[in-house]
Copies of this chain bind each other. A is one copy, B any other.
Amino acid sequence: MSVTEMFSFIQGFLSADQDVREDLRKVVQILEQAAREILTVLQSVHQLTGFKEIPSKCAKARELFCTVRTQIADLKTKFPVEQYYRFHEHWRFVLQRLTFLAAFVVYLESETLVTREEVAQILDIEVVREKGFHLDVEDYLAGVLIMASELSRLAVNSVTAGDYSRPIRISNFINELDSGFRLLNLKNDPLRKRYDGLKYDVKKIEEVVYDLSIRGLGKEHKCGEDK
């Protein structure tokens, strides 16, 4: 093979690569739009009037996840499945956002931590790399951390809306999450930075709980609602 042929060959490869990336950029942009729409639906839970509507908002969000699934299905067709990590950066960010949204919906519905399996199911993707387009564990964890920060906001707004028991439940939940993260040996990477942020969320929620407790608020509610 001559030098010219070799470079033509490589150029062909590079062009193909660029085309894939161009395609991915487009699909991901649409996914981001979808994610922003789900977020808008869920944001209303922070409003004074939003608390009663949580179930309906969650249902609405679940519906919107249908579109997301279609779009992700489209995304999967844009590149060879074994080359997931080659193009990972393209969808990494939006997948973390979607994980956050899925985790937030699940939390609002059942006050439990969404599992990686559940997120994968909601997005119609795999958990195990070998099986196909999957949810990387670090992206799952990042999504969960984004939710933690949203929950600290929710704790604050719950009080404003007069719901004094929710912050305490959030506090317990976040504490458990924190214990989980403590098990991980995080490197000095973006995930570690996000995890450092979790401590501030824990702190904020704890402050809310403290504010409630010194005022004798929420105690009775907690008992009443928890059991």
Contact = CB atoms under 8 A, between A and B. Distances in A.
A69 interface: no
B206 A4 contact: no
Interface string A84-121: 11111000000000000000000000000101100000
Nearest to A29: B185
Task: Indicate the member of A86, A113, A183 with the most B CB atoms within 10 Å.
Answer: A183
A14 B185 CA distance: 8
B157 A210 contact: yes
B113 A14 contact: no
A11 interface: yes
Given A156-B210, A160-B213, A47 B185 contact: no
- Chain A: interface size category: 35 or more
Nearest to A154: B206
A67 interface: no
A184 B137 contact: no
Contacts of A186: 14
A28 B176 CA distance: 26
A213 B159 contact: yes
B214 A40 contact: no
Contacts of A185: 11, 14-15, 18, 29, 32-33, 36
A7 B116 CA distance: 11
A181 B7 contact: yes
A11 B33 CA distance: 11
Contact of A43 (B6, B8, B159, B179): B179
A83 interface: yes
A13 to B, nearest CB: 5
A143 B16 CA distance: 21
Given A43-B175, A160-B210, 19 more contacts: A3-B177, A4-B179, A7-B179, A7-B184, A10-B141, A11-B184, A14-B137, A14-B184, A14-B186, A18-B187, A29-B185, A36-B182, A39-B182, A83-B85, A84-B85, A86-B88, A159-B210, A208-B210, A211-B214
